[in-house]
Amino acid sequence: MQQFAEQPRAFVPLAEIDGQLAGFAILHVEGESGYIVTLDVDEAFRRKGIAQVLMERVVVHARETGAAVLFLHVYERNQAAIAFYDHAGFEQVGEDDEFYGNGLNALIYRRLLG
C-alpha cells in the first residue's frame, strides 16, 4: 500500500482515534477518472462511521481535482464492503477474474460524480 500512497497524485486521507490509525483511503485521479485503490478501516474501529467519512473526503477531493467518475475493485465475497459501496452510490459495472490472485475474483464498481 505504501507504494500506492507515495504516487505523486495520490490522495491519502487518514482517520485517527486517540492517536491510533483507525482507517485510511488511497485515491488516484487521472483526468476525469478516479480510482480508489483501497478504503480500509481497522477491525477494532469498524461500524463507527469512519468508512463513510473517508469516502466523503475521497469524493470531495475527486470532484475538486476534476474527476467525473470513480472506480474501484472489491473482492466478490466481501459482502460488507459490497453493501457499503452500494449504499455509497456505486454500481457494479463488471468483473475482473483473478484480480486478487488465483481464484480470487473482483467486482468492478463505478460511481458517477455528476
Sign of the C-alpha dihedral, residues 95, 100, 105, 109? negative
Does residue 63 contact residue 27 with C-beta atoms inside 8 Å? no
Distance, in Å, from the CA atom of 114 to the CA atom of 97, rounded to the nearest integer, reads 29
Number of domains in the chain: 1
The pLDDT value recorded for residue 5 is: 82
Task: Flag the least confident range among 1-5, 47-51, 95-99, 102-106.
Answer: 1-5
Q: What is the pLDDT of residues 82-111, one digit of tens each?
A: 999 999 999 999 999 999 999 899 999 999
CA 100 centroid distance within chain: 15
> Which residue in 73, 51, 53, 57 sits closest to 11, CA to CA?
57
Read off the CATH number of the domain in which 8 is found: 3.40.630.30
Supply the pTM of this predicted model: 0.92
pLDDT of residue 112 exceeding 80: yes
Residue span of the structural domain in which 23 resides: 2-112
pLDDT of residue 53 exceeding 90: yes
